Structure formats: structure tokens, C-alpha cells
Amino acid sequence: EAGVAQSPRYKIIEKRQSVAFWCNPISGHATLYWYQQILGQGPKLLIQFQNNGVVDDSQLPKDRFSAERLKGVDSTLKIQPAKLEDSAVYLCASSTQGLELFFGEGSRLTVL
């Protein structure tokens, strides 16, 4: 069974530029999550989708971050404009009815 796919794996941009990350969850997983993991910290939930609806986006900095999951399958996370403190690994995860999260390998962002 294919796992959660994410791209790009690495991205380096300058502050104030924009960046987009893509995630394709495990087939059949209705719930999709985007987490931000800063070095030395645990993952922090940015947004949670159930199919194509948003369940929780309370910690998403909406002035610069946006995410969509238009057809209830794959998802994109965008940052515009990026700040230095956005340097982190962006982890996408998916799950079914149960609570086990399956994570992708992550997209590592460096903002210079």
C-alpha cells in the first residue's frame, strides 16, 4: 500500500517569497492533516480536513498560510509571504476512522 506522498522534499526560499507544498494521502483516508514541526519541537497542527471540509484551522496563521483540499483527496499548503520563523518541516498525515496517523516524509522549508 502506498504511503502519504509529499513534495517537494526540500525548499529554500528568501523571506517574503511564496511556497506551496503538496500532499497525496493514503487512498481512502478521509482525514488529512498538515502539521508544522520546528526543529526541537513536536508537530503542531495547522489544519485538519475531513474529506474536503475544514475541521480545525485554529492554529493556522491565516494572514499568510492557506490550505485547500478541493476534491477531498490531495491537498496543498501555501505560505505567502514567508517569514524566517516559517523555517520548519511541514508534515502531512492522513487517517481513517481510527486515530492512527500516517505521516509523509515531510517537506523541509528553509527561509533565508
Smallest separation (angstroms) from another protein to the CB of 19: 19
Distance (Å, rounded) from C-alpha 90 to C-alpha 112?
17
Binding residues for another protein restricted to 19-38, rule: CB under 8 A: 31, 33, 35
Q: Are strands 88-95 and 31-37 parallel, antiparallel or unpaired?
A: antiparallel
For residue 9, give the amino acid letter.
R
101 binds another protein (CB under 8 A): yes
26/101 with CB nearer another protein: 101
- Cα within 13 Å of Cα(56), Cβ side: 10
Q: Which stretch binds another protein (CB under 8 A): 19-27, 61-69, 79-87, 90-98?
A: 90-98
Give the residue among 92, 85, 95 at the shortest CA–CA distance from 106.
Answer: 92
| Contacting positions for another protein (CB under 8 A) | 31, 33, 35, 40-45, 48, 50, 55-56, 91, 97-101, 103-106
